[in-house]
Amino acid sequence: MTELTLALLGLAISVATLLAILWSVVFPTRRIWPPQSYTQITPFVVWIPTFTLFGVLLVLGVMDWSAFSLPTWVRVGLGVPLIVAGNIVVWNEVRHFGVPQTGGARGQLRTDGLYRFSRNPQYMADIAMVVGWILLSCSLWAVVVGASAIASLIMAPFAEESWLREQYGDEYEKYRSQVSRYFGVSASSK
């Protein structure tokens, strides 16, 4: 498979994801994300595109390795820690929530751990992994596909907020008023 073909596949997945998220923000009663109901096929619909996109980013980074130049301390000193830290956070939260809740099934509202500092530490960790891989690989193709993936990850919390209000009511509203959407952004920006 050529780099262009892989990049187009990655862009198609991230653009489709972004469109589904934007649809869900604009039409929360007909949302796509989080799913209206969690069924046996939901994990496949959620995880196959997710793992395919991350796989495409990985392969593109290797195929297009060092297409641009960054100092080694940036590539290794920033890129690797972002990848490692992002993976630790994501997989720890998947372990805590379980695959179904991480993929959109109803569960308990999590307000402890990293959720004390951000309402979306998993998305922030995913962004860290993508940025880390872009820095480490110095791949132009990873930049293009990664930027598109990051846009989806930034927008996803907006699609989830009305669903969280429906599911958890006042408990979520209190939490939302106290904890910022992203790290380093005041809670008043909700």
The predicted structure's pLDDT at residue 128: 98
* pLDDT per residue as tens digits for the range 55-109: 999 999 999 999 999 999 999 999 999 999 999 999 998 888 877 777 777 888 9
The predicted structure's pLDDT at residue 97: 81
Mean per-residue pLDDT of the chain: 91
- 115 half-sphere exposure, CB direction, 13 A CA radius: 14
Share of the chain above pLDDT 70, in %: 96
Place of tokens 């751990």: 113
Structure token pair of residue 13:
């997945």
- 67 half-sphere exposure, CB direction, 13 A CA radius: 17
The predicted structure's pLDDT at residue 189: 46
143 pLDDT above the threshold of 60 = yes
Q: Which one is predicted more confidently, 166 or 138?
A: 138
115 pLDDT above the threshold of 80 = yes
Share of the chain above pLDDT 90, in %: 75
68 by DSSP, 3-state: which? coil
188 pLDDT above the threshold of 80 = no
- Position 121, amino acid: P
* pLDDT per residue as tens digits for the range 16-69: 999 999 999 999 999 999 988 888 898 888 889 999 999 999 999 999 999 999
The mean pLDDT value for 131-153 works out to 97
The mean pLDDT value for 159-184 works out to 91
Going along the chain from its start, the domains and CATH numbers come out as 3-189 (1.20.120)
Nearest to 141 by CA among 73, 86, 59, 52: 59
The mean pLDDT value for 121-150 works out to 97
Q: Phi first, then psi: what are they for 109, rounded to 5°?
A: -70, 125
The predicted structure's pLDDT at residue 43: 84
The predicted structure's pLDDT at residue 190: 47
Structure token pair of residue 76:
């290794």
